[in-house]
Structure 1
């Protein structure tokens, strides 16, 4: 597995562990009990929902006869990849007023999935600095195509009746 370590770089180590267990025809529950871990904990790890602490990683490596540090390195690579993704996923929030997103927490916005709504809101109610930051973050082409597809609502002029 050591030679394949770079191949799994950035993948959750639990998913790699799950694959290794299946490859060796080892059932998850008996394996968990054999290393002194709760089966539910191991299940969350192999589903990629929980990190592997170093102590558990060492027990897994000893039991599966893996090179010491293999699982820990995979966990570290995964954590690094996760941190890199965090850096890339949002614009500079110091340039965007929270009031523009009054109906939601600005920290909870998925900037990729909700790009159309974000661009629409910023270009409808934002100032020049906010528009420039969103253009920098998404790119001119994406902003231009989104703005061109926004359906403009016709304005109604209400007459005053006496």
Structure 2
């Protein structure tokens, strides 16, 4: 297992594909030899499908790999994906001053649902680095749409 931990964070199917190639094993016959659908093995080796524990054990047994190796790689891969997802759930709070959100708990903001209020607040009261972070997080298209809507409302209130 120590040898395969160098692949930590890589989809286990990619590692499996390399292992099959290294051993000159074709995917279809290998899949059939472990009573698995060739299409299932193909989507796993392309990294498009997760490797469940039962299948990981069958593969490890057939290839004489240490038990749990592929399952552990799947877990590391899942952890990396979850971390990536969390990183995109909120802007970098280290860039945003807490005083910008003086009237609310910054950790309690639902950045996806309350995007209009966040964009408005930052572009009214934020500094350049805060504006850049909000642009990075939401994207210029979303920020522009919110700012244009605010401008249209301001112009209609004046008329």
Q: TM-score range with shorter-chain normalisation?
A: 0.5 to 0.7
Q: Which residue does the alignment assign to 1:66?
A: 65
The 8 Å contact of residues 95 and 129 in structure 1, kept in 2 or not, is answered as: no
- Residue 25 (structure 1) aligns with: 24
Instruction: Tell me if structure 2 keeps the 8 A contact 1:61–1:70.
Output: yes
**What TM-score do the two structures reach when normalised by structure 1?**
0.62
> Which residues of 2 match residues 7-156 of structure 1 at below 5 A?
7-91=6-90, 94-95=110-111, 98=114, 100=116, 122=119, 126-128=120-122, 135=129, 139=133
* TM-score (ref. length: structure 2): 0.63
Offset, 1:97? 5.2
Secondary structure at 2:110 match in 1: helix
SS of the counterpart of 1:33? helix
**For the aligned residues, what is the CA RMSD?**
3.4
Q: Work out the CA distance in 1 between the residues paired with 2:131 and 2:73.
A: 30
Aligned residues of 1:5 and 1:70 also touching (Cα < 8 A):
yes
Aligned residues of 1:95 and 1:130 also touching (Cα < 8 A): no
Runs of 5+ in structure 2 lacking a partner?
92-108, 145-159
Distance in structure 2 (CA, Å) of the matches to 1:135 and 1:42 = 47
Shift of the 43–96 alpha-carbon distance from structure 1 to 2, 3 Å rule, reads closer
CA distance in 2, matches of 1:31, 1:6: 24
The runs of 5 or more residues in structure 1 that have no matched partner are 101-121, 151-162
- CA–CA distance in 2 between the matches of 1:59 and 1:52? 11
Kept after mapping to 2: 8 A contact 1:52/1:72: yes
Alignment check: 8 A CA contact 2:9 2:76 kept: yes
- In 1, the alpha carbon distance for the partners of 2:132 and 2:125 equals 11
Distance in 2, matches of 1:65 and 1:137, equals: 54
- SS in structure 2 of the partner of residue 57 of structure 1: helix
- Matches of 1:86 and 1:17, distance apart in 2: 25
Deviation at 1:89, TM superposition (A): 1.5
